[in-house]
Amino acid sequence: MATMSVISKLRLVGEQGAVLTAHPSARYLKETVRALPWQSAVQRALGARTH
């Protein structure tokens, strides 16, 4: 098993209504996760621990 993986029953649907396969779905999920504001909070917390 990969060190970073997601197991979900979530199915993403493309613009034409077809269910996306794992690879295209992963791209969309990655973009969504990266857009969430939690990353800056984690960076602040890690920075506070090193100072």
Token pair for residue 20?
Answer: 């996306």
Per-residue pLDDT band at 49 (split at 50, 70, 90): low
Calpha distance 41→29 (Å, rounded): 20
* Beta carbons of 32 and 6 less than 8 angstroms apart: no
- The average confidence (pLDDT) of the chain is 81
In single-letter form, the type of residue at position 32 comes to T
Of residues 43, 47, 46, the one with CA closest to residue 34:
43
* Beta carbons of 19 and 13 less than 8 angstroms apart: yes
- Residue 17: per-residue pLDDT: 94
Indicate whether this model's pTM tops 0.85: no
- Residue 4: per-residue pLDDT: 67
**If you average pLDDT over residues 21-44, what whole number do you get?**
85
